[in-house]
Structure 1
């Protein structure tokens, strides 16, 4: 049985008592159990034990570090649940998108599906799963577009007798136009439709959207509860939290990204050739991109302290990085951003 925080149980009880509104917002920091709570509520509404239901849509990024963490466990049950989750994300994006790169990931999707149905996992299969997830992440644009919202609108008005659930993660990062399109649906959602939205930063969500949502504030669980849930989920006999467990995978990813960054900067500094980002393999997801920016910031500071660049160059470049951090959630083409960054660096 999944261990849920009290607030999640309150939300499910509100649904059972038929007093839950059709649009809610789960607000809280990372590792505050928002995703697990959203999934359990969705399964309750759809009367399903699994996530493989065509009446469930999940709009979220695929985090390759999260994938590595889940696939490193010895629990087939945990791996099955995780593959169900990412299959739903992929189904959602493929079904509701005019994505041009779908042909490129067809083999990856088929491989993940075949493994999921066979339910046999060894080290080689786990490594192949990670490679396939990484490739999907590289080719697929996970940002929600106005086109996606229009397709959602058509979808929710079909088969009105069936309950449907739409889970959108990090809604504060949606573009202005997407927020406006979503608002039109939230104004009068059909009775059979449930929107479960999640966010970390309430201040970035338009007030017009917030006014149509019941907000549930999630706090990070007490350490003992988190350890209890973690042990149940990952079957690891250690008194560590989910956050501490995931942090070990971020550390590993950070080392790899640091090596890639140094390699690129050396090429630029020595003016050997123009690097080819298609050959680099470090831009897995938003978290990897954030790590890359952090490492670049450290490198710039190091160059300044070692008198390799002057104060004007340092201030110019750090300001450029600050702007990227500020608008990072809205950037769709991370490779293009890094190309521009490196060209900027070359000018310094």
Structure 2
């Protein structure tokens, strides 16, 4: 049996950020999650402002975390939204820089390696059950390969849920995540584009959704279509249809004459989901478990790191100043809600700007969602 003061469930960026801050404060913790894989993952945009958050975790620069073949600088955002004309916004206008496009699986793996090097104890496994224990929590984790029966019991005073959109622990503790928009993404990775030199983020709206593309290291380029579930699943099931729709959209740089069949094609949840009560008695949620973003914002990793840090600080206040526990948890909830409100305002600005397709189902759905939930 393990008896840490805090257990962090989920070893993505949000959980790792929370674990690092707690470890820096000398708190006895355990970080529970799954072993890092080697498969390509969506969520490759890291804003320049994220450097401040990485430094809070003891990471001096992106170069000190990743090898050069795992990330590329983003030079600009190029968009055709609300009109056919392309608008170019140079990264020089952003005082914190244009950020980076990175190999997400490598970023996650090296972030976890950094946490372990900082002394964060990790346990690889799947959460099995969660029950109250006095004023804390009792958790069982399956740490054996499939088919074997091996459970590790963890008893902790405080729990941080970083399990992503599933909000695994939060749901069992009474939280109810609310999906505020219906949107999926068909995400494909094109390989072998070694002559590709376009380092911009490219976004283009079309009648049934919008397209996104960015160059990645090692001759890769990610392309994603965001739309209603039926349209997305139709493309995900048929790679050649995805390639044809990508070509027809015009989202790719003109310098790319031939579009290869996607090396990998996934359907991903791209909806906005909010957990209105993202903190409760001796627990709180961070990252996607608290608030998942519309990919249009490119703020997923940033919020994961930010909320992980802020959530850990709230947990520290609960542990060290019990009389201030209610205030610390309420302050954290309010921080999440403020981020949500700003994000909704930005979504409303973008989705209501596209007037050409306002009679199409996708745009009516998104415009209705930002009006109702702002």
Same fold judged by TM-score > 0.5? no
TM-score after normalising by structure 1: 0.28
Structure with the largest fraction of helix: 1
- Greater share of residues in strand: 2
Higher relative contact order (CA 8 A, sep 6+): 1
TM-score by length of 2: 0.26
